[in-house]
């Protein structure tokens, strides 16, 4: 510390032309000190006081310098800290972004270093903000879709989205974007499902005439859509309710279709039963068309409406009320048809007894079942008639051949058959054909018997023809025909002997014809009434026909074989 005297010597005096209150052009510490000395001198301040004041002044100056140094030192530390913070922030941001720390010039004083690092830091901060925005947008979309899937209808704000600023790498962002893509795919899939279910509900509602909008509104209001409507709900709950609703509607559709199919089948049965006019049937063509349709094929509007079902039910009830009387009429009609089938193949039918049984059954049984039973009997009768048809056809051929045989027998007894009378040539041609047909009778009968036996073995019952076993009838016919053939042979032999006797008599006595024919060749042979009936008539014709033939033969056999009719002259000569 300088002494006061020294300070006085060192302190220059102020210029005389300046007033004490006029500040110098440049104020320094020395100037101020000199001015202070002058003031002290004028005051008469003691040296001790002056020393104290100077010490105090020096201390105050030191304090000011010290404060300034401290501030400067702190400022330097702050600059160092700022530089360190910038370097740390660069490292942190680079790490968060997943990239290396960028290079920058690290030379010069602190401010130069800060000036060099600042652009690098700002660049990284800009990249971080952009990356943060990408993360925030991605997380926001993820949160929104997740909320839609969860069924959370509350609006989301960006403030609620938390982004981890320490991990902003491209890898993490790609993971989030992949997750977002998965959620978007799931959202699209769910929207497709929602639209599919909505379309299915619409189609079924149209078919069954249901309120489509009411159904969707009950599931979720957003499904109705609209210009300012909220997005369609794709939550698990909505999908579950849509699935349940579609399943329920499909079951209802199937039930209604089944109901209408049953009603349609019943209508067809009743129409066929009642012979309903086509004009009345056409009113329910839309119901009949559903009988063979599956649920997926029924798409027309209102096809399964409840009104359609009710109208069909009313029609079924109306026809059912008329069914009883019509059924009785049809049952008797079926009985007549059954009897006609049996008669056509010569099977025995007792109409009176059958009608009595039917009347009792109609009083105690279900008429529909009884009609079905009659239909089954008719089908069985047709099968039986078909199985008999071949035999009956061959039987008709045999009957025709037998009729021709009878005609031929009568024709050959006519001695005038070769006369030139009217129609003689027609009879000659018929006789020629009849002989050819008669020659086939044995093979016809043999073939017919074989078929009858095979039929009886197959059906385990005798083959009846108008109540009589046809096989026995044919066997009797065969025996009688053999007897008839034997009788014919005897008649031919008798005729030959008679002719021989006449010839011998004429040789002995000469020819004295009286114009009379031998009795064996007389028209008495024609006394047998020609029968035009076939071998099988209503009451077993074959035995009766053969009986007639036997009577004729017996009448002829009464005449002696050697009897010859003589003229009246010969008789008188013998008496003489």
Residue-wise pLDDT for 425-451, tens only, equals: 788 888 888 888 888 888 888 888 888
Question: Which residue in 316, 328, 322, 334 sits closest to 265, CA to CA?
Answer: 316
Instruction: Output the six-digit token pair for 44.
Output: 């008469």
Question: Alpha-carbon distance 483 to 533, whole Å?
Answer: 20
Q: Which residues contact 141 (CB under 8 A, 6 or more apart)?
A: 180, 183, 184
Instruction: Output the six-digit token pair for 545.
Output: 């026909």
**Residue bearing tokens 């039910």:** 313
Whether residue 309 contacts residue 256, with contact meaning beta carbons closer than 8 Å, is answered with yes
Quick check: 534 pLDDT over 60? no
Which pLDDT score, from 0 to 100, does residue 537 have? 46
Which pLDDT score, from 0 to 100, does residue 186 have? 94
Label residue 5 by pLDDT band (50, 70, 90): very low
Q: Phi then psi for 242, rounded to 5 degrees? A: -65, -45
Q: Phi then psi for 472, rounded to 5 degrees? A: -65, -40
Helix (H) or strand (E) holding 558: none
Measured CA distances, 317 to 47, 161, 310 (Å): 144, 69, 11
Whether residue 304 contacts residue 257, with contact meaning beta carbons closer than 8 Å, is answered with yes
Whether residue 139 contacts residue 127, with contact meaning beta carbons closer than 8 Å, is answered with no
Q: Which of 255-269, 429-443, 536-550 has the highest mean pLDDT?
A: 255-269
Which pLDDT score, from 0 to 100, does residue 73 have? 93
Measured CA distances, 224 to 77, 213, 218, 462 (Å): 68, 7, 10, 80
Lowest mean pLDDT among 38-42, 98-102, 121-125, 257-261: 98-102
Whether residue 384 contacts residue 345, with contact meaning beta carbons closer than 8 Å, is answered with yes
Question: Which residue in 343, 342, 349 sits closest to 384, CA to CA?
Answer: 342
Which pLDDT score, from 0 to 100, does residue 4 have? 40
Label residue 566 by pLDDT band (50, 70, 90): very low
Question: Alpha-carbon distance 573 to 558, whole Å?
Answer: 27
Percent above pLDDT 90 for the chain: 26
Which pLDDT score, from 0 to 100, does residue 396 have? 87
Whether residue 410 contacts residue 371, with contact meaning beta carbons closer than 8 Å, is answered with no
Quick check: 374 pLDDT over 60? yes
Whether residue 535 contacts residue 541, with contact meaning beta carbons closer than 8 Å, is answered with yes
Instruction: Output the six-digit token pair for 515.
Output: 């114009």
Label residue 26 by pLDDT band (50, 70, 90): low
Which pLDDT score, from 0 to 100, does residue 327 have? 80
Q: What is the mean pLDDT of residues 485-492?
A: 86
Instruction: Output the six-digit token pair for 358.
Output: 């039917």
For 195-215, the pLDDT digits (tens) are 999 999 999 999 999 998 899
Lowest mean pLDDT among 330-334, 482-486, 510-514: 510-514
Which pLDDT score, from 0 to 100, does residue 65 have? 93
Question: Alpha-carbon distance 262 to 249, whole Å?
Answer: 20
Task: Work out the mean pLDDT of the chain and round it to a whole number.
Answer: 79
């Amino acid at each position: 510390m300088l002494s006061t005297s020294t300070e006085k010597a060192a302190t220059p005096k102020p210029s005389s032309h300046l007033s004490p209150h006029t500040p110098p052009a440049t104020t320094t510490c020395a100037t101020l000190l000199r001015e202070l000395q002058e003031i002290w001198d004028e005051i008469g301040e003691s040296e001790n006081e002056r020393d104290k004041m100077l010490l105090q002044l020096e201390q105050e100056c030191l304090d000011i310098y010290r404060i300034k140094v401290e501030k400067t030192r702190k400022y330097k530390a702050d600059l160092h800290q700022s530089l360190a913070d910038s370097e740390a922030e660069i490292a942190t941001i680079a790490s968060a972004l997943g990239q290396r720390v960028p290079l920058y010039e690290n030379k010069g004083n602190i401010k130069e270093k800060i000036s060099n690092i600042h652009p690098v830091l700002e660049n990284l901060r800009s990249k971080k903000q952009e990356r943060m925005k990408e993360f925030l947008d991605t997380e926001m979309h993820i949160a929104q879709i997740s909320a839609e899937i969860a069924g959370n209808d509350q609006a989301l704000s960006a403030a609620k989205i938390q982004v981890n600023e320490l991990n902003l790498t491209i890898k993490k962002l790609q993971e989030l974007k992949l997750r977002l893509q998965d959620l978007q795919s799931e959202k699209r899939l769910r929207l497709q499902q929602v639209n599919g279910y909505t379309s299915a509900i619409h189609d079924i509602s149209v078919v069954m005439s249901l309120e489509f909008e009411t159904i969707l509104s009950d599931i979720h209001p957003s499904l109705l859509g609209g210009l300012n409507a909220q997005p369609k709900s794709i939550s698990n709950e909505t999908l579950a309710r849509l699935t349940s609703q579609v399943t329920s509607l499909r079951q209802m559709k199937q039930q209604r279709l089944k109901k209408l199919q049953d009603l349609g089948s019943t209508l067809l049965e009743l129409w066929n039963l009642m012979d309903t006019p086509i004009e009345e049937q056409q009113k329910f063509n839309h119901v009949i068309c559903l009988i063979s349709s599956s649920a997926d094929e029924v798409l027309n509007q209102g096809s399964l409406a409840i009104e359609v079902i009710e109208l069909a039910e009313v029609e079924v009830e109306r026809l059912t009320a008329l069914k009883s009387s019509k059924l009785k009429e049809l049952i008797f009609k079926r009985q007549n048809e059954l009897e006609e089938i049996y008669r056509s193949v010569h099977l025995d039918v007792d109409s009176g007894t059958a009608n009595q049984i039917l009347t009792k059954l109609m009083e105690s049984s279900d008429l529909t079942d009884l009609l079905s039973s009659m239909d089954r009997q008719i089908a069985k009768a047709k099968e039986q008639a078909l199985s008999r048809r071949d035999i009956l056809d061959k039987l008709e051929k045999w009957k025709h051949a037998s009729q021709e045989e009878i005609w031929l027998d009568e024709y050959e007894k006519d001695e005038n058959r070769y006369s030139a009378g009217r129609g003689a040539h027609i009879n000659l041609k018929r006789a020629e054909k009849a002989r050819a047909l008669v020659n086939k009778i044995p093979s016809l009968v043999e073939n017919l018997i074989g078929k009858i036996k095979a039929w009886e073995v197959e059906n385990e019952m005798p083959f009846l023809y108008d109540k009589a076993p046809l096989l026995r009838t044919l066997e009797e016919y065969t025996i009688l025909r053999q007897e008839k053939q034997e009788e014919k042979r005897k008649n031919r032999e008798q005729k030959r002997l008679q002719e021989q006797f006449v010839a011998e008599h004429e040789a002995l006595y000469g020819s004295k014809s009286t114009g009379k024919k031998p009795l064996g060749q007389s028209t008495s042979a024609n006394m047998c009434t020609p029968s035009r009936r076939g071998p099988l008539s209503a009451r077993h014709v074959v035995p009766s026909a053969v009986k007639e033939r036997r009577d004729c033969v017996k009448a002829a056999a009464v005449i002696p074989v050697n009897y010859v009719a003589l003229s009246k002259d010969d008789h008188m000569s013998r008496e003489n």
